[in-house]
Amino acid sequence: MKVAVIGSGTMGSGIAQVTATAGCYVKIYDTSSEALSKSKSALEKTLAMLLERGKIDDSEKNRMSNSIAYVNDLNELSDADLVIEAIVENLEIKRKLFSELENIVSEHTILASNTSSLSIASIAASCEKSDRVIGIHFFNPAPLMQLVEVIPAIQTSEEVLNKTIQIISDWKKVVAVAKDTPGFIVNRLARPFYGEALRLYEEGKADFATIDWAMKTFGGFRMGPFELMDFIGHDVNYIVTETVFTAFYFDPRYKPSFTQKRLLEAGFLGKKSGRGFYNYSEAMPLPTE
Ligand code: NAI
């Protein structure tokens, strides 16, 4: 099976690894050649690590490396059976991309978005053949997280839904079919989790490290809410909250936080930029709280 992944950032790179592991040929496209080469070297590092730990052998490492191509021309995706888009979380940019894609791929190609919160119906509406558009929402890190939400839009055909469920199951992932509502299942449920943690911190009830510690020690969570936001990236996390808040007609349960907005504006995006709530580069001073 030939898969195309659009966007070679955190999610696109992880999804490409999942598909290559499953034996597919994958082309990964990005408008930024810097992002493409970063993605390539990250994958090579991961494969070397998997080899060292004995999880894969030399021939599997070579097979996987050879099954991923990094391309900077959208037209090279013309032979894909399935396209998974993982670009910036912006509806207009995604819609533009999907309408361009329709002129490149075959009419049988399934067009999927990895959006965290945007309307699949609205993305599908940018295509003439909208019944082949669907949401395939992986979680971060895609190679490790078992769950994948599959979201049919009202336009999506039964055939495309069933095919998609089969493909994702063949990739050894667990599928949850979700309705096309803002944030689907997990990202909607997670909003009050992050939101209440941010409110506790903003009200000065506890510092963020204490909240993380409490949730891990007593709540049984693997990561506290602030560690998790830093891991996801404040750009992605804030935008998802803003989208869900707006899409639910400004329901205060999903209200975004100014603290997080300021981190985003300062470029303190979390782990990927070296600093978020926590500091990931020794050169920078730790935040005071
Ligand atoms: P990212 O910022 O790491 O990567 C996005 C990539 O898309 C960048 O390399 C950028 O150069 C590229 N890009 C932007 N516009 C483009 C265009 N028009 N054509 C081609 N490439 C373009 O973002 P990330 O975190 O990988 O998120 C991607 C998508 O996945 C978003 O829709 C996000 O909401 C969703 N998502 C993110 C998760 C996360 O934890 N980070 C989890 C699940 C879904």
Q: Which of 114, 119, 187, 237 is catalytic?
A: 187
The number of angstroms, rounded, from the C-alpha of 201 to the middle of its chain's C-alpha atoms is: 26
In which band, very low, low, confident or very high, does the pLDDT at 289 lie, cut at 50, 70 and 90? very low
pLDDT at 100: 97
pLDDT at 281: 83
CA 188 – CA 34 distance, rounded (Å): 32
* Domain ranges for the chain: 2-177, 187-273
- For the Cβ of 237 lying below 6 angstroms from any atom of ligand 1, the answer is no
- Mean confidence (pLDDT) of the chain: 95
Classify residue 268 by burial, with Cβ atoms within 10 Å: 0-12, 13-18, 19+: buried
CA 105 – CA 74 distance, rounded (Å): 10
Residue written as tokens 């204490």? 210
Q: Which of 116, 117, 237, 257 is catalytic?
A: 116
> For 215-260, what is each residue's pLDDT tens digit?
999 999 999 999 999 999 999 999 999 999 999 999 999 999 999 9
- Return the CATH fold of 2-177: Rossmann fold (3.40.50)
CA 85 – CA 24 distance, rounded (Å): 16
Pocket test for ligand 1, best of 17, 28, 88 (most atoms within 8 A of CB): 88
pLDDT at 283 over 70: no
Q: In the chain, pLDDT over 70 holds for what percent of residues?
A: 97
3-state SS assignment for residue 204: coil
Q: Do you know the residue count of the chain?
A: 289
Residues 6+ apart with CB under 8 A from 33: 72
> For 176-198, what is each residue's pLDDT tens digit?
999 999 999 999 999 999 999 99
pLDDT at 172 over 90: yes
- ipTM of the complex in this document: 0.99
> For 84-93, what is each residue's pLDDT tens digit?
999 999 999 9
pLDDT at 27 over 70: yes
Is 1.10.260.40 the CATH number for 187-273? no
